[in-house]
Structure 1
Amino acid sequence: MSNGRATDGPSKSSEEEDKAAVRRSVRPAKGAAKRSNRTEDGKLPLIYYKEGQALKDLAKLFQTNGEGQVVEVRIAMESMTNANVLVRSRQLWGNGIYTQDSDLVAVLMHCGFYNQAVCHGGAAIAEMRAHITLLPPQKAYASCARNNIRSRAWGEATEGCSYQVDRCWMCARGGAMVEMASSLDGGTYVSATFAPAAGERPTVTRSHAHLHMRTRPLQEVTVQFNLCNEPWLKYSMLLVADQGLKAPQWTSARLLTETLFLETARERFELSRAGPPAGEQPGESQEAYRFGKCKLAWPQALMWRMGIPLPADALEAVQPALPWEAFQWGPAGMYLNGQLLQILRIHFAPNRSSPPQDGHDATGVAPP
């Protein structure tokens, strides 16, 4: 007896049969009256997904229309994220067929219809649409780890219904629709786990009571690891800005006893005091500063032995005498001679002379 589907080759493998069993459409039982899944106006029942809430209307639709009812669910893209509360708490039970209180976003991720690291469409995507088929309660719901998420197991359900996802679309704001294919293999996606921040990250804190509990952004202090895997401060204009109106509170005055090291994503630079600029009279108070690129990113202990500021042979592309006004600081970094250095990390190191060649420094380590 024919099952209504043409066969064009040999029988499928057991693995393919398992996948087909998970995705097959469920037909009404034999002898049941034929009916339409659509309403009187020719449309499927529509449910809008609300983050943090289960699809409450599924049980009502199942009681009214019975097994095999197809329901369309629309999900805003703001909810299609791993930060979804029900996704993080793994609120899904079953494998292929899920309980009615399973979160649909978690189910779409578990079935491989959507992966945030791969399918992120940005502001151009308006919503996701899914067609689900209502099924009777199952005798058991198995647990399965797939697509970087593990579903939960559950025993026999005595009330309510179950459902499975048949189709899924990604809808753009311009009206275009892209059908998403499921990935039942459960492959693990490789995505970046660290991305350097391009700018400052504001944090929201409580304001004072006289500001009527308004929130305002405050700059946080963040520690990053430099090119030698040592902790440095993340660059911020607050760290290089003058701290008051008095001369001792200026950053340029701080460089009398300290040296400023700057790092980009690949290079390290040194900014130190060099004395009066060339051609200036000794009685004038104008200071000059040396700026150069470090040949290598040495660890702190080795720089102590070399001496801070670093010797001239440890730098390249040195500009020996620059006024303080030549350094223009901005949110993205420092401008020097019209060029922007995208500074990521900074570090103030106290000046330290190099020890004698036959001696030891304060750390007890012999010089190189």
Structure 2
Amino acid sequence: MSHLLLTKLWITSVPKIPDALRRDFFRLGYLPYVPLAFKARYIGWQQAPEKDPLYSLLTEAAEQVASKTLVALFLGEPGYPAQLTRLSDAPVALFVRGNAEALNQPQLAVVGSRRCSAHAAAVCRRWLPAVCHANIVITSGMALGVDGLAHEAALAAGGQTVAVMGSGIDYCYPPQHQALYQRIMQYGCIVSERLGKVPPRHFDFPRRNRIIAGLAASTLVVEARLRSGSLITADLAARFGREVLAVSASPLDAAALGCLELIRNGARPALSPDCLIESVLAQHQWDHQPTQQLLLALASGGVSSDELAHHTTLTMPDVIAELATLEAEGKVEHRSGLWFPTHMA
């Protein structure tokens, strides 16, 4: 069993370590410093990992990675979704059961009320099959209401769907969706930042929402009240430079006021499945242009030319040519053998 893999899993799972330090580990290959409150645990892991409380969980996960029943995608490594690298708080790892390749395909995030109306259900059932037939993955959070309906609509259409969990990868939440959880693993994938069968905490849902918004090229809000958690996902998507679409409805319907507020603030009205398909494919194409690929890979700063060629689809000559153009335009800088976006100067 690889000690390096175990250490990576441990860094992602151990408590009392700042997320920024976890990201430094995956960017640099080591911890640049060890917090005092964490030092004894860190030394213990280095000297006798089998005595660490997480050892059993991590060895089980490592065995599943080796048998390919679990996929572990680490920040900065091949397979990690490129679109997430632009997040300042990008997850250091994603654990996946199912088809991890779906994470790198064009995705539409679909979110909305847990207690959704017949109108919202009809939008999911009538519109999303056409989106799936355009080879677009439906991504949501497997909550009750719109989330579950979105996953169900994708599966019924023979499409792929991604469920991002706030719980551990092996804890189905809500429990009412156990059958759906199993079907998604078979025909799409389940994704979580956390290993094991751990229930979600209240602050895990906003963290989950940032992954949904970051993975998807566009976000559709089907139905939302003014204080709906779906508006958090929409706000995150807008901050990430993604297009937000919202389904319009009567201003007399309290369940629709969140969507109407989004449209008032600049969200695009969702008028048809074609509208959704156009939005997703345009954004996905933009994200995969050579210049955009480099800027995404440089989002965290301090990246060498070799690393850029490794983490993008570009050849080394293409990387060098694109970097020269970006440097001439004042968008990147070269310092101490590494490339940085100019805002990190």
TM-score (norm 1): 0.20
Larger fraction in helix: 2
**Max Rg structure:** 1
Instruction: Tell me which protein shows more strand as a share of its residues.
Output: 1
- Bigger relative contact order, structure 1 or 2 (CA pairs below 8 A, ≥6 apart): 2
